[in-house]
Amino acid sequence: MSEPTFFQKLFLENIKVDGNCKITYKRAGKDSKPSKLLFNNGKLTNFENIDLITLTDKNISIFKNIGILDGDSESVSLKDLSLLRKYFGNEKYKFIFEKLGITSVRFDANAGIENIEINGAKLSIDFETEVEQIQKNYPDIKADWIPYIVDISERTNYSADLIAMILSSESFTPTAVHKDENGGLCEVGFGHTTQANHNNNFKKGFKIDLKTAFEWFEQDLKDKEEKIKGFGDAYNYDKLPRSIQEAMLDVAFNRGEGKLNPKSKCFDTKYIDLQNSIKKKNYAEAAVLIRQAEEKMAKNYRNGLRKRNVNRFFLAIRDLTKNEQIKAKKLFNKNGYYDRTIEGLNPKNQKIIKSKWKSII
């Protein structure tokens, strides 16, 4: 009989990682059942409670030591495993892998499978691919859009989540139309108008293909980000968590960056509170204050706005600490806002949002 692998010794099998960095597994054996969460958003949990004969300090240290790659020896996240791939084989980091006992790291990007060999034991982790995450979280996104979304996210600093969230609320307009009653403003592609900084010399009837529409969309994102950076110490954009930055980008794309600009005539004074929260580095509160007020919105548009608000909230808290996320969750549902949001959505969107909401623990 061959020597059991490391994970067979731990009686673990079917280890899977979802888009929220949650790793689940099943116990091996006759009564194999889904287990408790082994990792919660990358944080080690339940190790003390796992009833395994061969669990030792050395076993636990393997998991903890992988966490040193992003500077946190008490957690293992998708970021750790991504760095594992990036640095494996680099002489500069050889001592780390020797310490971990890692002799092999292979990643199958198409299947989303990470294969790691640790002291002769083989660990395979099945990730949700970026495409699978987009399809699950934004089912309204058309299949032929996804390759463009993934391409932009891989080449730039914009997450696929931000791009998919924006586009899930936008329709593709292949032929330019007038956006205002006077006929002076035209729109084409994904919300691209004749007021844009680039490619703005077109008229009603102008036609655009999907590839070009995504190129213009990407440039629009970059232009809006540069404008927000130009607001200076109003937000100190460059010092914000990336998830807060992306939530602000969604505001700029949805409402126009002028709504965030304190020096603009279009400035929405509700964002004064957002500025104050950011100055205090109260990012949990900031994640809530980024949402758009709906009081003046026509009733037939409110459900769409609420859906965008709650998705923007999920985006904003992505890079916050666990304590900040829990605090933000409580603030977001103040006066029952989340509960009202859920009530107005269709069953498909309810299921998606409830799953995300439940994961904030």
What digits encode the pLDDT tens for the residues 107-143? 665 555 666 665 655 656 556 677 778 888 898 899 9
Given pLDDT bands bounded at 50, 70 and 90, which one contains residue 343? confident
Mean of the pLDDT values across residues 194-219? 94
Given pLDDT bands bounded at 50, 70 and 90, which one contains residue 335? confident
Of 283 and 96, the one with more pLDDT: 283
Mean of the pLDDT values across residues 244-254? 95
In a domain, 1, yes or no: no
Mean of the pLDDT values across residues 4-17? 45
Residue 152 and residue 62 in one domain: no
86 contact partners, CB below 8 Å, separation of at least 6: none
Residue 209 and residue 330 in one domain: yes
Per-residue pLDDT at 74? 47
313 contact partners, CB below 8 Å, separation of at least 6: 247, 287, 288, 290, 291, 328, 332
Q: For residue 2, is pLDDT > 60?
A: no
Choose the weakest-confidence range: 53-62, 136-145, 328-337.
53-62
Q: Characterize 87-96 residue by residue with b for buried, 16 or more Cβ atoms within 10 angstroms of its Cβ, and e for exposed.
A: ebeeeeeeeb
Given pLDDT bands bounded at 50, 70 and 90, which one contains residue 3? very low
Q: For residue 151, is pLDDT > 60?
A: yes
In a domain, 236, yes or no: yes
Per-residue pLDDT at 303? 73
Residue 146 and residue 69 in one domain: no
Choose the weakest-confidence range: 5-9, 194-198, 222-226, 284-288.
5-9
Domain-ending residue, one of 102, 128, 154: 128
Nearest to 229 by CA among 261, 202, 266, 265: 261
**Pairing mode, if any, of strands 113-118 and 186-189?**
unpaired
In a domain, 181, yes or no: yes
The domain total for the chain is: 2
Residue 23 and residue 159 in one domain: no
Residue 159 and residue 265 in one domain: yes
Q: For residue 179, is pLDDT > 50?
A: yes
Domain-ending residue, one of 58, 93, 128: 128
Per-residue pLDDT at 7? 39
The boundaries of the domain holding residue 175 are 132-358
Q: For residue 63, is pLDDT > 80?
A: no
Q: What percent of the chain has pLDDT over 70?
A: 66
Highest mean pLDDT among 14-18, 101-105, 207-211: 207-211
For the whole model, what pTM was predicted?
A: 0.69
In a domain, 338, yes or no: yes
Q: Are 99 and 114 in contact (CB under 8 A)?
A: no
Given pLDDT bands bounded at 50, 70 and 90, which one contains residue 48? very low
The domain spanning residue 353 has which CATH number?
Answer: 1.10.530.40
In a domain, 70, yes or no: yes
Nearest to 299 by CA among 238, 242, 333, 340: 340
Burial of 312 (0-12, 13-18, 19+ CB in 10 A): buried
Residue 238 and residue 342 in one domain: yes
Residue 105 and residue 219 in one domain: no
Per-residue pLDDT at 292? 79
Residue 288 and residue 303 in one domain: yes
Residue 117 and residue 257 in one domain: no
Mean of the pLDDT values across residues 151-159? 89
Mean of the pLDDT values across residues 165-184? 85
Residue 202 and residue 74 in one domain: no
Residue 116 and residue 142 in one domain: no
Per-residue pLDDT at 229? 95
96 contact partners, CB below 8 Å, separation of at least 6: 68, 69, 87
pLDDT (tens digit, 9 = 90+) per residue, 289-324? Answer: 998 776 555 566 677 788 889 999 999 999 898 889
Domain-ending residue, one of 89, 111, 128: 128
In a domain, 22, yes or no: yes
Residue 155 and residue 173 in one domain: yes
Mean pLDDT of the chain: 77
Per-residue pLDDT at 119? 60
335 contact partners, CB below 8 Å, separation of at least 6: none
pLDDT (tens digit, 9 = 90+) per residue, 75-89? Answer: 555 566 667 777 777
Per-residue pLDDT at 43? 40
145: left (phi over 0), alpha (psi -120 to 50) or beta: alpha
> CA 75, CA 223: separation in Å to the nearest integer?
36
Q: For residue 204, is pLDDT > 70?
A: yes
Per-residue pLDDT at 312? 95
In a domain, 268, yes or no: yes
